[in-house]
C-alpha cells in the first residue's frame, strides 16, 4: 500500500487531484511547486520547489503530476520516469472504470467519469469530471478529456490533445496529436495533427 504521495503542481487542478488522493486514503499528501512561496490558502502542504523534489525522493513511495497543461505535464512525468519512481494513477471512488479497460501510469480519473470496456488510456491522461469514454476507445499519452466530454465507441485520440469542456465525438472518429477543440464542440469528422477545431 502506498502511504506517502508527492504531487507536482499546486494549482486548481492540483486541489482536485489532492482530494482524490485523500479519498484514496493516502496518509501523507505533499505538494511541490515552483511558486511555493507565493501560493496562499492551499488545502494541502506545499513542501518545496519541483527541482528540489529530487532531494526528497526517498521520503515518498508514490508520485503524481497534477498539471493541467499537457506539455508541462508530459515533461514532469518523463522526469519522474527517468528517475525510475513509482508513478501512480489517482481514480476518484465515484468514477466508473471497467475492469476490462487498460490504464497506463500517471492518469487522473475524476468524479463521475466513466471509462468503458475495451478502452486503452495511456500515460499522463486526464479524464476530467463527468467525462465519458465509451467502449474500445484509445487515448494516447498526455491528453486531456475535459469535464462533460462524451467519446462514443472506438474513438481514437492522439498525444497531447485537449478536448474542450462538453465536446462530443461521433463513433469511430480519429483525432490527431496536439489537437485542441473548443468548448461544446461536436466532432463528426477525423481531425489532423495540430488542428484547432471549433464549430
What are the residue numbers of the active site? 135
Note the Cα 90 to chain centre separation in Å.
Answer: 9
Reading the block at residue 71, the C-alpha cell is 506539455
**Three-state SS at 104:** coil
Reading the block at residue 170, the C-alpha cell is 461521433
108 with 126: CB under 8 angstroms? yes
User: What is the distance between the alpha carbons of residues 150 and 161, in angstroms, rounded to a whole number?
Assistant: 15
Classify residue 80 as exposed, middle or buried by CB count within 10 Å of its CB (0-12, 13-18, 19+). buried
User: What is the distance between the alpha carbons of residues 83 and 68, in angstroms, rounded to a whole number?
Assistant: 22
Amino acid at each position: 500500500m502506498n502511504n506517502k504521495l508527492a504531487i507536482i503542481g499546486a494549482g486548481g487542478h492540483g486541489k482536485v487531484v489532492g482530494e482524490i488522493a485523500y479519498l484514496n486514503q493516502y496518509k501523507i499528501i505533499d505538494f511541490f511547486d515552483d511558486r511555493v512561496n507565493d501560493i496562499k490558502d492551499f488545502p494541502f502542504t506545499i513542501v518545496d520547489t519541483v527541482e528540489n523534489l529530487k532531494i526528497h525522493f526517498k521520503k515518498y513511495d508514490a508520485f503524481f503530476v497534477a498539471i493541467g497543461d499537457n506539455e508541462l505535464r508530459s515533461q514532469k512525468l518523463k522526469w519522474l520516469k527517468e528517475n525510475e519512481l513509482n508513478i501512480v494513477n489517482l481514480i476518484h471512488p465515484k468514477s466508473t472504470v471497467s475492469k476490462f479497460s487498460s490504464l497506463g501510469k500517471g492518469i487522473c480519473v475524476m468524479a463521475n467519469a466513466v471509462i468503458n470496456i475495451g478502452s486503452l488510456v495511456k500515460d499522463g491522461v486526464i479524464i476530467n469530471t463527468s467525462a465519458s469514454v465509451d467502449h474500445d476507445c484509445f487515448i494516447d499519452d498526455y491528453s486531456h478529456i475535459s469535464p462533460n466530454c462524451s467519446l462514443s465507441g472506438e474513438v481514437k485520440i492522439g498525444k497531447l490533445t485537449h478536448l474542450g469542456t462538453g465536446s462530443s465525438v461521433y463513433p469511430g472518429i480519429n483525432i490527431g496529436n496536439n489537437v485542441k477543440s473548443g468548448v461544446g464542440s461536436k466532432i463528426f469528422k477525423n481531425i489532423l495533427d495540430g488542428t484547432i477545431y471549433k464549430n
